[in-house]
Amino acid sequence: MTTAASRSPGILEAPPEDPVAWINAAGEHTLADRMGITFHEATPQRLVATMPVAGNTQLYRMLHGGASAVLAESLGSIGAVLHAGEGHIAVGVDLNATHHRAVRTGTVTGVATALHLGRTTATYEVVISDEAGRRVCTARITCAVHGRRRDR
């Protein structure tokens, strides 16, 4: 029997009954797990995840810009997989991030909102905020969708 943790979230065999539990289980022993990313909401239109600042800092002990990029890529890629559906794979092809302010402690929250959900691409805006609700980073990710098209 295949478990949620052993399946790749890159290709859905069937739509998950509980996407958040499926994502968090499938993410064990991945970069997202290593960075402490936890998903809290997941639909093709909107995803929410948190990440601790501790352990994800650069030499000045501020949140590393690359950590924000990993959070943004994780959110957008999983959203694209959920959008693509059964039998498809979604891969990131473009990511850009603007860093607005430094964060030294606590947890950041990323909210990905779909900008475009098409047949071959999915694009998300990701807003990463600190615990006070201040914008830390704004990112945009575009993913390519490959595989057979599901009926919609």
Which residues participate in catalysis according to the annotation? 73
Task: Give me the sign of the Cα torsion angle 93, 44, 19, 65.
Answer: positive
Cβ atoms of 49 and 126 closer than 8 Å: no
Task: Give me the sign of the Cα torsion angle 52, 63, 116, 150.
Answer: negative
| Whole-number Å distance between alpha carbons of 39 and 71 | 10
Cβ atoms of 35 and 69 closer than 8 Å: no
